[in-house]
Amino acid sequence: MNKNYSVKQLAKLSGVSVRTLHLYDKMKLLVPQLRTRAGYRMYGEKELLRLQQILFYKELDFTLKDIAKILDEPGFDIIEALKGHKKALIQKKTRINILLSTINNTINNLKNKTMLNADELYDGLSPQLAAAYRQEAIENYGNEVVERAENYLKKLNKDELKKLVDKQKQLGASLYELKAMDPTSAQVQELIAQHYTNTRKLWGTDGLTDKQAETYKGLGNLYLTDERFILTGDRHDPTFAEFVKDAMAHFADEQLR
């Protein structure tokens, strides 16, 4: 009771295009069961199953050539192929993470350059801008953190705020000098400790005694993706952000708690 499928039927069934089936036929990846007198391709159940397999491996981003090997060479080591592929995927993912961090930095740099000058930063944001930032910050870091920071900042006067911000920047510059070092080294950790103190002042997190470590670690991850909260300034440098994150994580694990 074997059914037969024309190109179009098989195409619709499997979700690929007719052209694709033509291609697979020509490259002998999926040859029809038979041809009619007119030359029409006819596929059977066996071909449908094989197509399913092809599509499975294709979803894993294997090339058609590799898929042919997997399906046709009986001694082919599929597990090794999968493992190799896994490695490649992990590398891709790592690269994407770096790209994303770079892109975020770039976006924020551009925003700052075109929409803000330094004075505005200290004099308070324009209402529209503040609203937009607030919304974005809430989406990214949660309501609680943003509100606490806001309430705290309201109580600070300009001079106090400027002092803290300058201190953060200076710490950033100092850390940047050490970026080739071990993030867990004493020298780096000393700066991180200062940064931690300063950050607590800036973010008003003095009350968070039981979640301090977790929060500070979270802040490190945040540094990886958002330049507004960062000490790297103009430097497009994902490796530095990574370095800072590691240093902060170590500090949180070792010094706190």
Partner DNA sequence: TCTTGACTCTTACCTTACGTCATAGCTTAG
Partner DNA sequence: CTAAGCTATGACGTAAGGTAAGAGTCAAGA
Quick one: 166 exposed, middle or buried, by C-beta within 10 A (0-12, 13-18, 19+)?
exposed
Residue 60 within binding range of its own copies, rule CB under 8 A: yes
Binding mask 1-40 for its own copies (x = CB under 8 A): ----------------------------------------
Question: Can you give the length of the chain in residues?
Answer: 257
102 binds, among DNA, its own copies, none (CB under 5 to 8 A by kind): its own copies
Select from 46, 45, 47, 83 the least CA-distant residue to 62: 83
State which residue, 76 or 176, has the beta carbon closest to its own copies.
76
Sole binder of DNA in the list 52, 63, 135, 239 (CB under 7 A):
63
CA distance 227 to 214: 20
Residue 158 within binding range of DNA, rule CB under 7 A: no
Question: Which residues, numbered 110-129, are part of the site for its own copies (CB under 8 A)?
Answer: 110-111
Q: Which stretch binds DNA (CB under 7 A): 3-11, 125-133, 156-164, 199-207?
A: 3-11
Across 196-218, b (16+ Cβ under 10 Å) vs e yields bebbbbbbbbeebeeebbebbbb
Residue 64 within binding range of DNA, rule CB under 7 A: yes
Binding mask 98-127 for DNA (x = CB under 7 A): ------------------------------
User: Minimum distance between the CB of residue 236 and its own copies, rounded to whole angstroms?
Assistant: 8
| Both structure tokens of 120 | 């505005």
CA distance 230 to 244: 10
State which residue, 76 or 176, has the beta carbon closest to DNA.
76
107 binds, among DNA, its own copies, none (CB under 5 to 8 A by kind): its own copies
- Provide the CB-side half-sphere exposure for 151 (13 A, CA): 9
Looking at this protein, which amino acid is placed at residue 68? A
Residue listed under structure tokens 């945040």: 222
Handedness of CA 27, 84, 101, 173 (dihedral sign): negative
List contacts with DNA (CB under 7 A): 6-9, 16-20, 22-23, 36-41, 58, 63-65
List contacts with its own copies (CB under 8 A): 59-61, 78-79, 82-83, 85-86, 89-90, 92-93, 96-97, 99-100, 102-104, 106-107, 110-111
